Each structure stands twice: as structure tokens, then as C-alpha cells.
């Protein structure tokens, strides 16, 4: 039982940018990179352990119930997938099913997610649900005649904000945003609109309008941007970002030496978004910097974070 440092899986899509390559030093056989799956045991892109006994093995191959923690037992598998996303262009207008509306016979999985705005261009925005309640018929008509953009809720974003997107909410990340996404361990997405774009071969990406209609929440959504009060210690400030049945997501600003503890209830995940330092336990000492992903197994016990940095912390309550 020791702390894992993880190598992400990179994905390139039609809307990807180049910040993951140029700023984070991540490697991909492409000029652009859309997503880095920094904490993943998903079959479509498991992260690789780069240190210690399990070096070179993927996270899904070594994960045990003890490493996940008691609070994860209700899910029957590792519950979280964390990504860094660079939107060089607008993402498709899309929706994800909930655990209840997903068609398990087709391999669909529920997906609630939260977005931490790590950086953004001036005036950058995202799409978050509808401005007002809408009927299915009204939505279908607005998509067919191209007026749907008048129905959706556009939100200007700022660095450091967090947005919680419950399953069933129509949404899209727009151009010029670098964010960290914590989500259920799912890769189920239903695209409604993709700006009629084509790939390098002239092909449009598949849309899934019918399934989207079946899982969409047509009510005006309350925008959820934060939860709870800050916790301040001598060397850190922990700011709650999003809390739901699937995860507890926080920003941790560390300046100095902070002693922490991983008990049997849950693993702890960190993504470093600024600064550098170390994370240490009795078994290991790991140098960490911007873009790194760290997995602390449940029941590890005491560990220490040293340095000046901003980390995003995820666990399961």
C-alpha cells in the first residue's frame, strides 16, 4: 500500500487545443489534445502507475476494494473518472443519462459531473441547461430550425469557479476554457448538436438526438457553483467545490507542510493545477508539479503534502 503517481491517457477530439501539450508537457501523437484522463480505471482509457511496485501497470489492474475504501462498496467498482479538458473550440451540445435513465443492456452508464475552471479566456462561457422550462416538442423544433441557442442558458465563467452538472442537464463547454472535470466513471454521452463540423476525412460526428430526448431534464436548472464553508489550517485552505452521492470535490491551497490521513473510508485523489512540491508517506516520497495526478489508497494512514501549490482533492463520503 503506497501512494501512486499516474500517467494519464490523452484523447484528441475535433475541438481540442494545445495547452495540455505546451503547458503541461503531456505527450500525444498529435498537434492537439482535448482531454487528459488523469484518474481513470475506465476500459476506454485507464491511467498507468509510474512508480513503485506496480510501475507500468494500469490502475484498473491493481485496484482493490481496500484501496477504494468502504464508501465505494455501494458502487461495485471504482466510481470516479477525472479529466483535464482543453477546449480549443466549442464542444458539442450534449447530455448524459442518470443511473436510472441509462440503458444498462446497451452498456450505458450514468454520468453526473463537476467542472473546475482552471483557466479561461476573457469572455469564455459554457452552456448550462435551459433559460426557462421547455417542452420536448419545443426543444425538438428549436433544434430543427436552429433556434435552440436562444433557449439555452449561457454562463460567463471565471478562473477558480466550479459548476456541478447533474445527469440529464443539457450542457456544453465552449471555446477557450481549461478545466478539471470530476465525474462518475462513465463514458456515455448523447450529442444533440455539433455545429455541423466535419473531421479531417469530411465526416460528421454521430448525433444521438433520440436518446438525448429521453434523458433530458426540460426544467430550468439552478446553477450550482459551490458548497459549504472554507476550512483553514496553518498551512492550507480547503474550499468545498461540489458534493454529491458520487464524490466530494475540493480545492486545496497548500503553502508549507500539511499533515493528512487516509482512513479506511475512501481513497483520496489529487490533481495539481499550479505550483510544485512533494507528497510523502512512510513508504514513498513523490515530487509533484502542475498537471500531475496522485492516488492515495484508503487505509494508507498518515501522509504529508509539502510546497506551495493548488491541488484539487476528490474522495467519496
Q: Which of 69, 94, 115 is nearest to 268 (CA)?
A: 69
Residue 299 in grid coordinates: 487505509
Active site residue 211: no
DSSP assignment string, 126-147: EEEEESS---HHHHHHHHHTT-
The maximal CA–CA distance of the chain, rounded, in angstroms, is 62
Q: Which of 125, 137, 193 is nearest to 163 (CA)?
A: 125
φ, ψ (nearest 5 deg) of residue 251: -100, 130
Q: Which of 223, 221, 119 is nearest to 164 (CA)?
A: 223
Of 191, 211, 239, 315, which is the active-site residue? 191
Residue 206 in grid coordinates: 454521430
Query: With contact defined as beta carbons under 8 Å apart, do 194 and 204 qualify?
Result: yes
Q: Which of 168, 171, 148, 149 is nearest to 216 (CA)?
A: 168
Query: With contact defined as beta carbons under 8 Å apart, do 254 and 232 qualify?
Result: no
Q: Which residues are catalytic?
A: 191
Amino acid at each position: 500500500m503506497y501512494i501512486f503517481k499516474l500517467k494519464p491517457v490523452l484523447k484528441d477530439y475535433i475541438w481540442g487545443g494545445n495547452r495540455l501539450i505546451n503547458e503541461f508537457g503531456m505527450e500525444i501523437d498529435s498537434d492537439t489534445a482535448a482531454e487528459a484522463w488523469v484518474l481513470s480505471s475506465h476500459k476506454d482509457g485507464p491511467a498507468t502507475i509510474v512508480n513503485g511496485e506496480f510501475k507500468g501497470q494500469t490502475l484498473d489492474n491493481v485496484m482493490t476494494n481496500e484501496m477504494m475504501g468502504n464508501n465505494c462498496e455501494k458502487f461495485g467498482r471504482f466510481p470516479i473518472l477525472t479529466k483535464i479538458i482543453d477546449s480549443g473550440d466549442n464542444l458539442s451540445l450534449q447530455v448524459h443519462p442518470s443511473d436510472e435513465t441509462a440503458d444498462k443492456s446497451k452498456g450505458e452508464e450514468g454520468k453526473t459531473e463537476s467542472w473546475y475552471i482552471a483557466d479561461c479566456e476573457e469572455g469564455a462561457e459554457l452552456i448550462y441547461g435551459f433559460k426557462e422550462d421547455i417542452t420536448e416538442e419545443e426543444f425538438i423544433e428549436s433544434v430543427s430550425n436552429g433556434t435552440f441557442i436562444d433557449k439555452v442558458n449561457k454562463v460567463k465563467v471565471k478562473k477558480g469557479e466550479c459548476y456541478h452538472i447533474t445527469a440529464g442537464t443539457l450542457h456544453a463547454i465552449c471555446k477557450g476554457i481549461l478545466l478539471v472535470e470530476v465525474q462518475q466513471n462513465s463514458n456515455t454521452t448523447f450529442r444533440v448538436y455539433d455545429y455541423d463540423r466535419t473531421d479531417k476525412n469530411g465526416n460528421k460526428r454521430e448525433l444521438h438526438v433520440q436518446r438525448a430526448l429521453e434523458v433530458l431534464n426540460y426544467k430550468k436548472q439552478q446553477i450550482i457553483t459551490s458548497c459549504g464553508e472554507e476550512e483553514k489550517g496553518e498551512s492550507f485552505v480547503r474550499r468545498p467545490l461540489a458534493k454529491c452521492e458520487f464524490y466530494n470535490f475540493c480545492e486545496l491551497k497548500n503553502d508549507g507542510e500539511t499533515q493528512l490521513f487516509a482512513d479506511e473510508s475512501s481513497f483520496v485523489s489529487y490533481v495539481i493545477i499550479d505550483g510544485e512540491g512533494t507528497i510523502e508517506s512512510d513508504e514513498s516520497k513523490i515530487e509533484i508539479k502542475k498537471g500531475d495526478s496522485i492516488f492515495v489508497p484508503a487505509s494508507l494512514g498518515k501522509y504529508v503534502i509539502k510546497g506551495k501549490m493548488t491541488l484539487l482533492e476528490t474522495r467519496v463520503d
